[in-house]
Structure 1
Amino acid sequence: MRDGRRERSVFLGLLPWPERVQVARALRTETVGGLVLLAAAVVALVWANTPWSGAYEDLRDAHFGIPALGLDLSVGHWTADGLLTVFFLVAGIELKRELVVGELRTPATAALPVVAALCGMAVPAAVYLATTGLGGGSGQGWAVPMATDIAFALAVLAVLSTHLPSALRAFLLTLAVVDDLGAILVIAVFFTSDLNPIALAGAVAGLVVFYVLQRFRVRGWWWYMPLGVAIWALMYNGGVHATVAGVAMGLILRTTRDEGEDASPGERTEHLLRPVSAGVAVPLFALFAAGVSVSSGAVGEVFTSPEPLGVVLGLVVGKTVGIFAGTYLAARFTRARLNPDLAWADVFALAVLAGIGFTVALLIGELAFPDPADAEHIKAAVLLGSLIAATVAALLVKRRNRIYRRLWEAETRDEDADGIPDIYQHTAPGRDNTDGTS
Structure 2
Amino acid sequence: MSNSNYSFLSKFKKHVNSSVVLIFFTVLALICANIPVVKDWYFSLWQNEVMFSVGNFNFFSHNGHPMSLGAVINDFLMAIFFLSVGLEIKREIRVGELSTKEKALLPIIGACGGMLVPVLVFALVCPSDPAMQRGLAIPMATDIAFSLGVLAVFKTRVPVGLKVFLAALAVADDLGGIIVIALFYSSDINMMFMLLSAACVVLMVVANIAKIRSKAFYVTVGLVLWYMMLNSGIHATISGVIVAFCIPATLKKGTGHYLERIRKNINKFPVIEVDDLHNTVVLTNEEIHTLKSIESAADKMISPLQDLEDSLHFLINFIVIPLFAFANAGIDLSQMSVGSLFSGVGLAVMLGLVLGKFLGVFSFSWLAVRLKVVTLPAGADWKSFASVCVVCGIGFTVSMFIADLSYAGLGASGVALLNQAKLGVLCGSVVSALLGSYLLNRTLPKEK
Relative to the length of structure 1, the TM-score reads 0.83
RMSD: 2.3
1:26 aligned partner, one-letter code: K
Q: Compare CA radii of gyration and give the structure with the larger one.
A: 2
Specify the SS of the correspondent of 1:263: coil
CA contact (8 A) 1:233 1:242 kept: yes
CA, structure 1 residues 295+395, in 2 after alignment: closer, same or farther (shift >3 Å)? farther
CA contact (8 A) 1:357 1:382 kept: yes
Q: Distance in 2 between matches of 1:232 and 1:264?
A: 23
Q: Distance in 2 between matches of 1:137 and 1:374?
A: 9
CA contact (8 A) 1:162 1:398 kept: no
In structure 1, the partner of 2:358 is 320
CA contact (8 A) 1:358 1:382 kept: yes
Tell me the CA shift for residue 212 of structure 1. 1.8
CA contact (8 A) 1:111 1:330 kept: no
Tell me the CA shift for residue 57 of structure 1. 0.7
CA contact (8 A) 1:151 1:278 kept: no
Tell me the CA shift for residue 161 of structure 1. 5.6
Tell me the CA shift for residue 376 of structure 1. 1.1
In structure 2, the partner of 1:423 is none
Which residue of 211, 221, 229 maps to 2:223?
A: 229
Q: Name whichever of 47-56 and 245-254 sits farther off.
A: 245-254
Q: Distance in 2 between matches of 1:239 and 1:135?
A: 25
Which residue of 21, 34, 40 maps to 1:54?
A: 40
Specify the SS of the correspondent of 1:61: coil
In structure 2, the partner of 1:310 is 348
CA contact (8 A) 1:43 1:287 kept: yes
Q: Distance in 2 between matches of 1:150 and 1:339?
A: 18
Which residue of 381, 384, 398 maps to 2:424?
A: 381
In structure 2, the partner of 1:333 is 371
CA contact (8 A) 1:298 1:377 kept: no
Task: Please list the CA deviations of residues 227-259 of structure 1 after superposition, one character each: whole Å capped at 9, or x if unmatched.
Answer: 111111111111111110111111222224440
In structure 2, the partner of 1:259 is 254
Tell me the CA shift for residue 314 of structure 1. 0.3
Which residue of 103, 106, 115 maps to 1:112?
A: 106
- Identity, % of aligned positions: 35
CA contact (8 A) 2:107 2:168 kept: yes
Tell me the CA shift for residue 106 of structure 1. 3.1
Tell me the CA shift for residue 177 of structure 1. 0.9
Q: Name whichever of 17-26 and 245-254 sits farther off.
A: 17-26
Q: Distance in 1 between matches of 2:140 and 2:363?
A: 16
In structure 1, the partner of 2:24 is 39
CA contact (8 A) 1:365 1:378 kept: yes
Tell me the CA shift for residue 108 of structure 1. 3.5
Q: Distance in 2 between matches of 1:113 and 1:136?
A: 32
* Structure 1: runs of 5+ lacking an equivalent: 1-16, 407-438
Q: Name whichever of 86-95 and 352-361 sits farther off.
A: 86-95
CA contact (8 A) 2:159 2:380 kept: no
CA, structure 1 residues 353+48, in 2 after alignment: closer, same or farther (shift >3 Å)? same
- Matching of residue 197 in structure 1 with residue 191 in structure 2: yes
CA contact (8 A) 1:195 1:240 kept: yes
- Matching of residue 391 in structure 1 with residue 385 in structure 2: no
2:304 aligned partner, one-letter code: P
Specify the SS of the correspondent of 1:213: helix
Q: Distance in 2 between matches of 1:235 and 1:213?
A: 20
Which residue of 352, 356, 360 maps to 2:390?
A: 352
1:255 aligned partner, one-letter code: A
CA contact (8 A) 1:356 1:387 kept: yes
CA contact (8 A) 1:38 1:155 kept: no
1:329 aligned partner, one-letter code: L
In the TM superposition, what are the counterparts of 1:128-277 in structure 2 within 5 Å?
128-133=122-127, 138-158=132-152, 163-257=157-251, 258-260=253-255, 261-277=300-316
* Structure 2: runs of 5+ lacking an equivalent: 256-299, 409-413
CA contact (8 A) 1:316 1:386 kept: yes
